[in-house]
Amino acid sequence: MTREEKNKWQREYRKKTKNIHTNVYEKTPNGFLMRKYRNMQSRITGVQWKKAHLYQGKELLSREEFLEWANNSPEFWDMFDAYKSSGYDRKLCPTVDRIESDKGYSLDNMRWLTHSENSKHTRRSRYA
């Protein structure tokens, strides 16, 4: 099976199963963190083109550094547990916030916030 055939098969399978396996995996801590990292990576590389002007070309720590930082973070685990206990309420979802928005994702420029806190923070900084 060629790569293109495999990709097509995967897309069709995910559509047919409503992506159930991915959704289950992403509710595990490891799956959740992998999705967070892929999202950060797609912002920096410009895949998320609508926001490319905010992120493209900025620093991105390695996946290994990110996973070590997250797994050793009591804030992440407290937030993830609250998120899981809430039935995965989006407002409580842990997010990675860049402390200084003109810098990239580096250990000294990241912190954990809930989705709700991060949304409020973004709104305040945009209009301040």
pLDDT tens per residue across span 57-92: 899 999 999 999 999 999 999 999 999 999 999 999
- Which tokens hold the place of 17? 């199963």
Check which CATH number belongs to the domain holding 52 and give it: 3.30.40
Residue 15 has pLDDT above 90, yes or no: no
> Dihedral of the CA atoms 103, 104, 105, 110 (nearest 10)?
20
- Which tokens hold the place of 32? 């959740």
Count: domains in the chain: 1
Mean pLDDT score of the chain, rounded to an integer?
87
What's the pTM value of the predicted model, to 2 decimals? Answer: 0.77
What single-letter DSSP state applies at residue 97?
E
Closest CA to 56 of 40, 67, 71, 69: 40
With bands split at pLDDT 50, 70 and 90, how would you rate the model's confidence at 112?
Answer: very high
With bands split at pLDDT 50, 70 and 90, how would you rate the model's confidence at 19?
Answer: low
User: What whole-number distance in Å separates Cα of residue 128 and Cα of residue 116?
Assistant: 18
Write out the residue range of the structural domain in which residue 45 sits: 3-127
